[in-house]
Amino acid sequence: MKLPVIKHLIQFIEDNDEDFVIETIETLEALTEVPSIKDEELDVIGELISNMYGAIEVNKMIKDGTPKKEALNSFMKRVLGSIDT
């Protein structure tokens, strides 16, 4: 996951609507089922999906009253913590 991408997606959600991101995730997930997709392409799609899910999670924390910077830091700590274990 890349923090700059998540920040950009959060701004997109604030400017538009979370539904656009959810629909994009659904579209990308459908693309992963195409038999001719190469592993490298699947990796890129997976990274995009991960960042989008991350942005949705951070956006939920912001909606619940967590300041944006704190929500981003908390989310990234959880991600890094899950990688370390």
Task: Determine the pLDDT at residue 36.
Answer: 96
Q: What is the pLDDT of residues 50-73, one digit of tens each?
A: 999 999 999 999 999 999 999 999
Alpha-carbon distance of 83 to 79, in angstroms, equals 6
- Name the residue ranges covered by the structural domains of the chain: 3-84
pTM: 0.88
Which two three-digit tokens encode residue 18?
């979370």
Comparison of pLDDT for 80 and 30, the residue scoring more: 30
> pLDDT tens, 25-46?
999 999 999 999 999 999 999 9
How far apart, in whole angstroms, are the C-alpha atoms of residue 63 and residue 41?
33
pLDDT-derived band at 85 (thresholds 50, 70, 90) equals: low
